[in-house]
Structure 1
């Protein structure tokens, strides 16, 4: 008799709940005792099932809205996604199939409008990321980043447009505009580094939303037109150690404060690596013995540190992939634009036209014994470097002839005048080049760090 009363009482409670059940979006709730018993069974597997499969096969968490209201179903979505950057681009492309997707079967037939819109935005972005990453072999890395960034921004704008078109509480970030809106979405991302969260690969979803990307639109928003950085530096050898130490003051250091934002982190990492390597070289070059061994050891240590990345994750540079050791070092050596440390020698820095920028320093600190005014007035004009070089060559011939006709001339010039006439201009040119070298070193030493791009 007691059990019958209990059954009747329980049935009455369920009927009362059903008669008063309401949801935000008119969703019907149906309960039965077998279902209640099933969801109360503990999970004995010891491991949570991957969300990608859970979405299609399992049931979402069953949670009460409050103590006084009926129970509701919760359908979580990992939203929003973070802004693509050089730091997370590798994870975006490599771990895409280990992040969740949200098929239509994840939600009930009605209700949960904003959760559905969030899920759609995630699905769109991940699908478009896949499109960008598939072109990784034919596009430059910065173009892939540009593509992923545009895909993310489009998914954000699409979500806000849909969210504002319905009578529902507007997602907070959508009330902002421009960069504030994008920053709000990025700062709210639960997984900004795009780490894999699913144990098993998630099956792709059929998707029809188009994403048209033009690589030509990336020039203004990715890498600047000219990157003025010599990376990686060549490996120190017995053949290069002399120029490595001798021309160190002619090689620039870099400041990264001029880099505008996250898209330039890859360039900042390279600039910082060069600064550390040059600082280590300076210490090694002061040694009386073991200069080469010191420089080579520091070079290897700093490039290994570069590959580790600032956050402990491997740097996205081709020489950093795979194993380390000699294979990595040979890759850096082969990739160096200046393996012999001679780009800052006479071929570039110490050309005669450099006198246009150094003549005042030469006059005050490194006098050459003859006036430079005629050089500057006639050759330092807004003309091409080639025309400047021709002008200086002509002026050298004229000056060498007039100087050697004088009875008294500076000792260095006097030495040149005792040479055959065709060699005198070259001798005087060397006097100028030595003065330019000294003046350039002083200017370099006093100059602030340069920005790694122009």
Structure 2
């Protein structure tokens, strides 16, 4: 009678554990378990049976590491081990920043299709946190390659901290066991996440590149929020500290690698891509930007030579691109450039790195053609007077309207001057060009529009000349 009662109690206890294990979403190591019921009953009938001799506790159903030996897989359901998630991510540092940007496409992402339609809520929250952080890291690595390394690190750190806070907020909003790090506050919470990271160095773990996933949350980064390094230089007999103040920078670095698909666009838009004026840069704190600007200028000069050739155009452009980027990585005065692609020693991987982070890899992000307007007369009036005379003086336009006025005030000024000049031209007896005389022979209300067309045609021609005279622009916008 006692053995039968023990058997019933033991069996009930096992069923309770199984029911609990099926509902627990903790990640556990599981293995197949088989039950030989006849053998168990025979053993329990023995007088020395351990089941009869001691009181059962939860530890009797745990292995040596304290992990349950039963799990959903024993009953044919999906195991947590079938859907691993590399969580959490480690804190970005100067030591792992290069790997964060370089191996971004070789670390896993977790689309909705990765998990079953129902269940696995805890793993899905972790996967979502990883997806967010990796997407935001991409913004830091590719969004603006003109940032110095400390600003890129600042961006990645903000992205990581936001992903941690977002995860803890979501994790605490559901009736489930909260991730233990989320119970801590401020720096202790962040340190806890970093300590738990399975891949704190952000090494590549995927054999093939993984497709990026669109971020479900926006991440905006303002470089002005970062604490910048103070540059110390020697002045007249004393050390002077000059902060590297953040400024908005307009530069496209690195340029993409020329390919058979991009070489035509590369040459067609070559005149539209900017060169950079190094002299407009301050001497302290922006040496890194000057080196990037010089590299672009040299690459564009090489492309110009290659685009004039009809044979071996692609190989010529690729060679120039590689040579100048290698020169950039060598640095100046024997100091190697501290740029994360330059830290990749194997040449092919280095070139792939530059290509992967290029903001314009296909050479289709050329400077937008500015909308032609009468405002352009301020930049082109000398060229118009010399090469495309319109038959009337432009001095009144320039003297009265080409002043530091608002765009709206400039427009009003130009329209007023155009109407006044039309009246003077058509009512006077001064000799004018045939084109102006045709405008004056039209109805009175159409004369200003006709003369405006003559002026706009001249501005269009002069603007093309101005673009062909490619000038170096300042990287600061």
Identify whether the pair has TM-score above 0.5, normalized to the shorter chain: no
TM-score when scaled to structure 2?
0.40
The alignment's TM-score, normalised by the length of structure 1, stands at 0.42
